[in-house]
Amino acid sequence: MREIPVKVRILRKEVLKKGWLPDYATPLSSGMDVYAVIEDDILIRPHQITVIPTGISVAVPEGYEIQVRPRSGLALKYGVSLPNTPGTVDADYRGEIKVILINLGAEEFIIHPGDRIAQIVLTPVFKIKWEIVDDIPETGRGKGGFGHTGI
């Protein structure tokens, strides 16, 4: 697997002291687990949205973005997800990476310091260059959308 160097700035001492720098859970993981770098527990009530800091900022290389994605275990077991999935960390953003979480479950959910709350994936970005035309090629699907093929 190809590695791309990304500069990371540690904003809170707990990140290194407690091992909360994002990391890969397995050798073939595509996403790095991201940790809640918080001092105290945070309660998320059903249907509540909150923002959790990660304690880091990064310099994403030009031509890439970091996508912030939900952790499947949190989504399946507790209904905790990201309302803006995937979130995007642009190459020119230099602030702290924060994760927007939503509790879609029926029960309250507690985020503890050091909990794995999301995953991040470094992804190439392609820029669109619009080409204005009078018509676009037809396909078998045509204008069918929003469930036209069934549920």
DSSP state of 39: S
The answer to whether position 139 is within a domain reads no
Q: Please give the full DSSP string across 87-142, using - where no structure is assigned.
A: EEE-TT--S--EEEEEE-SSS-EEEPTT-EEEEEEEEE---------S-----SST
The answer to whether position 1 is within a domain reads no
The answer to whether position 15 is within a domain reads yes
The answer to whether position 135 is within a domain reads no
The answer to whether position 2 is within a domain reads no
The answer to whether position 137 is within a domain reads no
Range of the domain at 77: 7-124
User: How many structural domains comprise the chain?
Assistant: 1
The answer to whether position 151 is within a domain reads no
In order along its 151 residues, the chain shows pLDDT tens digits of 789 999 999 999 999 999 999 999 999 999 999 999 999 999 999 999 999 999 999 999 999 999 999 999 999 999 999 999 999 999 999 999 999 999 999 999 999 999 999 999 999 999 999 999 999 999 888 888 887 776 6
For position 143, what pLDDT does the model report? 83
- Could you count the other beta carbons within 10 Å of the beta carbon of residue 60? 21
CATH code at position 42: 2.70.40.10
Name the 3-class secondary structure at 38. Answer: coil
Q: What is the pTM of this model?
A: 0.89
Say which amino acid occupies 135.
D
Q: How far apart are CA 115 and CA 132, in angstroms?
A: 48
For position 146, what pLDDT does the model report? 80
The answer to whether position 150 is within a domain reads no
